[in-house]
Structure 1
Amino acid sequence: MVVGELVYEKDLVIIGAGPGGYQAAIRAAKQGRDVTLIDRTHPGGECLHSGCIPSKLLAVSASKMKESAPGLTMSASFSMKQWNDEKRDVITNLEKGLHSLFKSNKVEFIEGNASFLSEERIGVEQGEKFEVWSFNHAIIATGSSPKSPSFYEEHSELVRSVEELYSIESVPETLVLYGGDYITAEVASSFRALGSTVHVITEEGTFLPDLDETIGKELRRQFKKQGIHVSTGITNITIIEEGNSIKVTAQDSKGEGLQLFGDMLGYSVGRVRHLEALGLGNANVKVTEDHFIATNESCQSSNNRIYACGDITMGPSLAVKAIKQGKVAADHCCGFSAVSELNLLPIVIHTLPKVASIGLTEKEANVAGYPVSTGISQMRANGYATLHGQSDGLVKVIRDEESHLLLGFHAIGIGAIELIEKGTLALEMAARDEDFIYPYTPHPGFGEAWIEATEFSLEPSKLESKKQKQR
């Protein structure tokens, strides 16, 4: 120790108070650990303040604009200013709830910047004050922020990340979106429902390429039906500001010129992980070539005192992943056996209609060598969806024809997000088709669509037809 240096002793230090960090803090505190949670700003992270919560809040408003019911005549208008005011109230209340949880679980929360000084010490800067902490364990949960597109490096009020679109003052008359991921899809769907003309451009050969092909095709059909224009395979993008609007020029997939005009452009081109200022080298924490913290299945880094969770680890940037990994890291450093795997990570997209997916797509199952059988049930055949006046969409089941194991569940339409929870549990328990068909299912209910799809995958005529094609 340097003479005169005061070192504060801490038990478990968690850097980053987003979903992974605060869930880890509460989990460990409930198991008797003395937890100190530190973040540069307020608790909740990008998810609460600019990502998950604002995006879903706007999606709720957008869906309400489209609601109808027999015998009711409704008229609604939308104010972006009022929405922003109420959004801030929602975020403030949720943040207060986090502080209450910290207090009730005796989690110490501190605003400041933390970086590793050694394998067992952290330096913490709080304004003009700097402290040195020793720790028994640490969990890194610093998250990420939107990456800027390579073709546009200037700052402009007319060109923003899609997360920043949740803070604009009014709904743009025409919105151009650059990106091919689920975040872009949610923004496109919400703003279209609220009155914007929406153009989506992406360099990908298809929009949302990771979706099961059947589900992706249906979503693109719905977007076309709603008037959302999607152009794929776009290259040579240039943005020019002309007064209070922008002009986007590019080449389409056929090499022909494409020109779009809009009041604003939003982009989603990936994430920048918050690792640079952490001093990971001082702590002997290894980082991969792809700039992820290398962890084992228990979220433990190369320094067995230090764990990592969320966006800074391998895999997609999803809050559901961060939450699970945060709990796993907390459990393991508390001495319990805990693992985190990414093969059964549910994906949900709050578009109109909603999309949800878990497990293998049909293509992935075929590539993996399974003898695949699929079943599809259209939501227009579901009585409960019809009662709600939302019969667009379908559900799809992927199963192993020989072992009868269920391999994947994919849904688009009303109830998709609620339905996927049943699919997630089934895959986690290694369920077979009989496990899905045997139990009673409420009627009318969205869950009947899963049963019908599974039963369809078992129909003798369908199986015989497939065998004949293989011959």
Structure 2
Amino acid sequence: MVVGELVYEKDLVIIGAGPGGYQAAIRAANYGRDVTLIDRTEPGGECLHSGCIPSKLLAVSASKMNEAAPGLTLSASFSMKQWNSDKKEVVKKLETGLHSLFKTSKIEFIQGNASFLSEERIGVEQGEKFEVWSFNHAIVATGSSPKIPSFYEEHSDFVQSVEDLYNLERVPETLVLYGSDYVTAEAASSFQALGSHVHVMTDEASFLSELDETIGKEVRRQFKKQGIRVSTGVTNITINEEGSSIKVTAHDSKGKDLQMFADILGYSAGRRRNLEALGLENARVKVNDDHFITIDDSCQSSNDRIYACGDITNGPSLAVKAIKQGKVAADNCCGVSSVCDLTFLPVVMHTLPQVASVGLTEAEAKEAGYQVSTGLSHMRANGYATLQGQPEGLVKVIRDEETHLLLGFHAIGSGAIELIEKGTLALEMVARDEDFIYPFAPHPGFGEAWIEAAENSLQTFKTESKQKQR
């Protein structure tokens, strides 16, 4: 410490104002803590400005373009330029809402760059001003950024991250997407519905391989039906500019040469943790070999004053995870015992149709040693899906025949994202099939599909047992 250095005393400092950071701030402020929230830019993080909100906003537009109803003849056009203007208004409105929440909760929000100077001090740079803060507790919630793929080279505006696609002023006529995650799937679905010719390529053996096999197969069938081309096992990718477009060449899993011309290539090649320049080593905060901050189930780091949440911790890069961990971290900073368990973390995709999943896949359940019974219900048999004019998709329930425990819920179809909340709650409550089948379900309603799937899982096992006896 320099003699005469002024140190400002802070109570709880939160670095990063994305979903995990601002939810932690609000929770801690409600407990009566004096909270200082700091971020390099405006609050909301990448989720608000370039990730969750823009991608879902485009998905809404895409779904509206495909809506139909009895007796209605609709004609709609889409302007990406107008959509971008509307998107900025939505983002600004949500951003303003966060500032209002901070003011109401008496949260101090500061724009600047923060880094740890020691185990209990932070240096904060705000333009030409530099301050030193001491703190009682700190929560790190700095999120992540798109990784650049190995084949990437500078090609003007022709090659960019999927997140950057939501800043385009026009819908590309042809679009190549590199990736095999939900981010890629959502972009492929939305842009195809809005008029692009989309070709997805991935170096993985299967597209969306983390999904239950039945659901993944249906996603790929739907993509094919919509005209989205998917190439797997892609290697040796090269990109060459040719006038106002690019030529993408590669080899697929069968060794076949691929050649695609596109207006743009969007990539989703994983996430890079935003840990650089944080000075974590000065604070005695351990980072593992995979560049995650090491935390326990209370979200506490190796420094008992410092907690962490979101993408910078182990596990998937999902806003729902960051929000839960942020609240848990805030609870523990405030002396309220709380833990975060990612076992039943739901994953959703705002594609056409929607996809949602929670719990074990069929393959995972079998590998874990369960006596697996599955049940399917096709949305074409669901009265409400038919009324909505959206009969595509199915739901799948996975259960253990011996204990009757429900193990996993997987859905593709209209309403899937809302449906998964019921499955998540059932798994958290350690529900058995009778707990799921017995309650009433509104008729007509999407929720009836879950009951039918659970009932079908009972019938499926009985049929299989009879066949084995023969």
Q: Does 1:433 align with 2:430?
A: no
The root-mean-square deviation of aligned C-alpha atoms, in Å, is 1.0
Q: Does 1:64 align with 2:64?
A: yes
Q: Distance in 2 between matches of 1:53 and 1:29?
A: 25
Corresponding residue number in structure 2 for 1:160: 160
Residues 1:469 and 1:165: Cα distance change in structure 2 (over 3 Å): farther
* Alpha-carbon distance, 1:470 to partner: 9.2
Q: Distance in 2 between matches of 1:70 and 1:417?
A: 24
Q: Distance in 1 between matches of 2:462 and 2:256?
A: 44
Q: Distance in 2 between matches of 1:55 and 1:262?
A: 21
Tell me the amino acid that sits aligned with residue 329 of structure 2. A
* Alpha-carbon distance, 1:213 to partner: 0.3
After TM superposition, where is structure 1 displaced by more than 6 Å over at least 4 residues in a row?
Answer: none
SS in 2 for 1:205: coil
Tell me the amino acid that sits aligned with residue 362 of structure 1. E
1:79-118 Cα deviation digits (max 9, x unpaired): 0000000000000000000000000000000000000000
In the TM superposition, 1:332-343 aligns within 5 A as 332-343=332-343
* Alpha-carbon distance, 1:155 to partner: 4.8
* Alpha-carbon distance, 1:463 to partner: 2.6
Corresponding residue number in structure 2 for 1:264: 264
* Alpha-carbon distance, 1:334 to partner: 0.3
Q: Does 1:136 align with 2:125?
A: no
* Alpha-carbon distance, 1:271 to partner: 0.7
Contact 2:378 2:395 in 1 (8 A): yes
Corresponding residue number in structure 2 for 1:288: 288
Corresponding residue number in structure 2 for 1:363: 363
Mind listing any 5+ residue stretches in structure 1 that lack a counterpart?
none
Q: Does 1:248 align with 2:248?
A: yes
Q: Does 1:322 align with 2:322?
A: yes
TM-score of the two chains, using structure 1 as the length reference: 0.99
Corresponding residue number in structure 1 for 2:50: 50
Q: Percent identity?
A: 80
Q: Distance in 2 between matches of 1:174 and 1:86?
A: 24
1:172-191 Cα deviation digits (max 9, x unpaired): 00000011111000000000
Corresponding residue number in structure 1 for 2:400: 400
SS in 2 for 1:167: coil
Q: Distance in 1 between matches of 2:469 and 2:336?
A: 49
Q: Distance in 1 between matches of 2:216 and 2:54?
A: 24
Q: Does 1:93 align with 2:93?
A: yes
Q: Distance in 1 between matches of 2:47 and 2:462?
A: 45
Contact 2:158 2:246 in 1 (8 A): yes
Corresponding residue number in structure 2 for 1:344: 344
Q: Distance in 1 between matches of 2:297 and 2:14?
A: 19
Tell me the amino acid that sits aligned with residue 5 of structure 1. E
Which is further off, 249-258 or 442-451? 249-258
Q: Distance in 1 between matches of 2:54 and 2:137?
A: 33
TM-score of the two chains, using structure 2 as the length reference: 0.99
In the TM superposition, 1:12-161 aligns within 5 A as 12-161=12-161
* Alpha-carbon distance, 1:166 to partner: 0.1
* Alpha-carbon distance, 1:469 to partner: 4.7
Give the number of aligned pairs. 470
Residues 1:129 and 1:470: Cα distance change in structure 2 (over 3 Å): farther
Q: Distance in 1 between matches of 2:92 and 2:324?
A: 24
1:198-243 Cα deviation digits (max 9, x unpaired): 0000001100010000000001000000000001111111111111
Q: Distance in 1 between matches of 2:468 and 2:148?
A: 48
Q: Distance in 2 between matches of 1:279 and 1:45?
A: 21
SS in 2 for 1:394: strand
Corresponding residue number in structure 2 for 1:445: 445
Contact 2:178 2:268 in 1 (8 A): yes
Tell me the amino acid that sits aligned with residue 123 of structure 2. G
Contact 2:297 2:339 in 1 (8 A): yes
Corresponding residue number in structure 2 for 1:463: 462
Mind listing any 5+ residue stretches in structure 2 that lack a counterpart?
none
SS in 1 for 2:166: helix
Corresponding residue number in structure 1 for 2:237: 237
Q: Does 1:416 align with 2:403?
A: no
Q: Distance in 2 between matches of 1:417 and 1:317?
A: 18
* Alpha-carbon distance, 1:434 to partner: 0.4
SS in 2 for 1:293: coil
* Alpha-carbon distance, 1:256 to partner: 1.7
* Alpha-carbon distance, 1:466 to partner: 4.6
Tell me the amino acid that sits aligned with residue 92 of structure 1. K
Corresponding residue number in structure 2 for 1:170: 170
Q: Distance in 2 between matches of 1:153 and 1:244?
A: 17
* Alpha-carbon distance, 1:467 to partner: 6.4
Q: Distance in 1 between matches of 2:146 and 2:233?
A: 22
Q: Distance in 2 between matches of 1:157 and 1:235?
A: 23
SS in 1 for 2:164: helix
Residues 1:368 and 1:81: Cα distance change in structure 2 (over 3 Å): same
Contact 2:155 2:241 in 1 (8 A): no
Residues 1:177 and 1:27: Cα distance change in structure 2 (over 3 Å): same
SS in 2 for 1:124: strand
Q: Distance in 1 between matches of 2:223 and 2:277?
A: 41
1:239-294 Cα deviation digits (max 9, x unpaired): 11111101111111111211111111000000111101100000000000000000
* Alpha-carbon distance, 1:465 to partner: 1.6
Contact 2:419 2:446 in 1 (8 A): yes
Residues 1:466 and 1:194: Cα distance change in structure 2 (over 3 Å): farther
Tell me the amino acid that sits aligned with residue 368 of structure 1. A
Q: Distance in 2 between matches of 1:406 and 1:132?
A: 52
Residues 1:238 and 1:454: Cα distance change in structure 2 (over 3 Å): same
1:32-60 Cα deviation digits (max 9, x unpaired): 10000000011000000000000000000
* Alpha-carbon distance, 1:452 to partner: 0.2
In the TM superposition, 1:164-243 aligns within 5 A as 164-243=164-243
